């Protein structure tokens, strides 16, 4: 037996021993149940209210989605200049005739002057919502209008900004004031923001996974050391693919599900893709077309 072969065998043996040792001392730790995530069948979340059926983030969109029978909403939030939490995705808002303005540099009253229906065109190529009073809404307004809905909240402001430094505490105070702990999921692309929020929430609110947490989960799944992964999120909300890495495999879904971490996929508007994901074990579909998703789910449950 050559020297190189002996070295290779020794390395393999050491790797196997390390794996066996870690397997013996580390057991998978399931996440504790969160009331907001206790549902008997997969759920449909209207993305920004259902941005292909009405202007995104408008009260009209949320009302339409609720009438269709969705289980909840997937929304983004930002902080205004006067420290109000508004339901909005982009950092800048198109003021139609006045150019663009940054959300954090504008007050709520200034933002309320913006017509959310200005650019939305329905399937009949009509501007049916233009000039109909659809304006930016606050998170408080959404909570109070839909007390029965699960709301997945994504904090969009970067933790490096002033508004980003404030929004975790502001969000927690609003949730606590309205006793909404059991009907929200709080997340962010920034893992740091989720950690900041949880300093206040102390695990009383269901937490989503930031980008780094998703990477850790996928790396653990594709390695031989998945048993070393201890999830720090209560739910994972992901696209079907990140770069060249597929995130929609049944094995990955099962890996997380066994840790009591349901998987939701965004933003899925094709019923065939919805069906495939649900068959693979997905627990939630985030969609711009809640009308199509609700019909498909109803057929599955019939």
Classify residue 289: in a domain, yes or no: yes
Residue 226 is part of which domain span?
A: 36-90+136-301
| Tokens 């150019």, residue located | 99
Q: Which of 41, 71, 89, 227 is catalytic?
A: 89
Contact assessment for residue 101 and residue 95, using Cβ atoms and an 8 Å cutoff: yes
125 lies in a domain? no
- Cβ neighbourhood burial of 116 (10 Å; 0-12, 13-18, 19+): buried
Q: How far apart are CA 35 and CA 28, in angstroms?
A: 22
Q: How many CB atoms lie within 10 A of CB 262?
A: 22
Place of tokens 């790396």: 219
| 273 domain-assigned | yes
If you ran DSSP here, which 8-state letter would residue 55 be given? S
The pLDDT value given to residue 1: 54
- Tokens at residue 72, please? 């909840």
User: Looking at the DSSP assignment, which residues form a beta bridge with residue 86?
Assistant: 78, 138
Q: Is 99 part of a structural domain of the chain?
A: no
- What domain count does the chain have? 1
Give strand pairing partners of 150.
Answer: 72
Select which of 47, 71, 230, 264 is catalytic. 47
Predicted local distance difference test score (pLDDT) of residue 23: 47
Residue 57 lies in a domain: yes
Does a structural domain hold residue 276? Answer: yes
Instruction: Return per-residue pLDDT of the chain as tens, 302 residues.
Output: 555 454 444 344 444 444 444 444 456 678 999 999 999 999 999 999 999 999 999 999 999 999 999 999 999 999 999 999 999 999 998 766 566 789 999 999 999 999 999 989 988 899 999 999 999 999 999 999 999 999 999 999 999 999 999 999 999 999 999 999 999 999 999 999 999 999 999 999 999 999 999 999 999 999 988 788 999 999 999 999 988 889 999 999 999 999 999 999 999 999 999 999 999 999 999 999 999 999 999 999 88
Residue 47 a catalytic site member: yes
In a domain? residue 155: yes
Asked whether residue 65 is domain-assigned, the answer is yes
Q: Is 33 exposed, middle or buried (0-12, 13-18, 19+ CB in 10 A)?
A: exposed
Buried b (16+ CB within 10 A) or exposed e, 1-25: eeeeeeeeeeeeeeeeeeeeeeeee
Would you state the pLDDT for residue 290? Answer: 98
> Biggest alpha carbon distance in the chain?
83
Q: Is 89 a catalytic residue?
A: yes
Residue 264 sits in a domain of what CATH number?
Answer: 3.20.20.190
């Amino acid at each position: 037996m050559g020297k190189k072969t002996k070295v290779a065998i020794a390395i393999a043996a050491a790797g196997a021993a390390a794996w066996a040792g870690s397997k013996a001392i580390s057991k998978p730790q399931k996440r504790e149940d969160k009331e907001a995530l206790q549902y008997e069948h997969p759920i449909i979340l209207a993305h920004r209210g259902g941005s292909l059926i009405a202007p995104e983030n408008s009260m009209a969109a949320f009302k339409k989605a609720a009438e269709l029978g969705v289980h909840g909403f997937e929304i983004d939030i930002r902080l205004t200049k006067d420290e109000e939490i508004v339901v909005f995705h982009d950092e800048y808002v198109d003021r139609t005739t006045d150019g663009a303005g940054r959300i954090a540099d504008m007050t709520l009253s200034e933002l309320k002057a913006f017509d959310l229906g200005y650019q939305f065109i329905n399937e009949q190529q009509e501007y049916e919502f233009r000039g109909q009073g659809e304006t930016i809404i606050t998170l408080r307004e959404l909570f109070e209008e839909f007390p029965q809905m699960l709301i997945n909240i994504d904090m969009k402001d970067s933790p490096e900004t002033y508004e980003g430094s404030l929004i975790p505490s502001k969000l927690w105070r609003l949730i606590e004031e309205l006793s909404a702990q059991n009907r929200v999921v709080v997340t962010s692309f920034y893992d740091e923001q989720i950690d900041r929020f949880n300093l206040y929430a102390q695990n009383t609110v269901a937490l989503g996974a930031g980008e780094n947490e998703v990477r850790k989960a996928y790396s653990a799944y594709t390695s031989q050391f998945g048993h070393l992964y201890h999830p720090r999120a209560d739910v994972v909300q992901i696209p079907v693919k990140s770069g060249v890495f597929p995130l929609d495999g049944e094995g990955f879904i099962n890996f997380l599900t066994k840790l009591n971490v349901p998987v939701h996929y965004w933003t899925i508007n094709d019923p065939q893709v919805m069906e495939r994901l649900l068959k693979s074990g997905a627990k939630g579909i985030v969609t711009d077309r809640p009308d199509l998703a609700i019909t498909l789910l109803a057929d599955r449950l019939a």
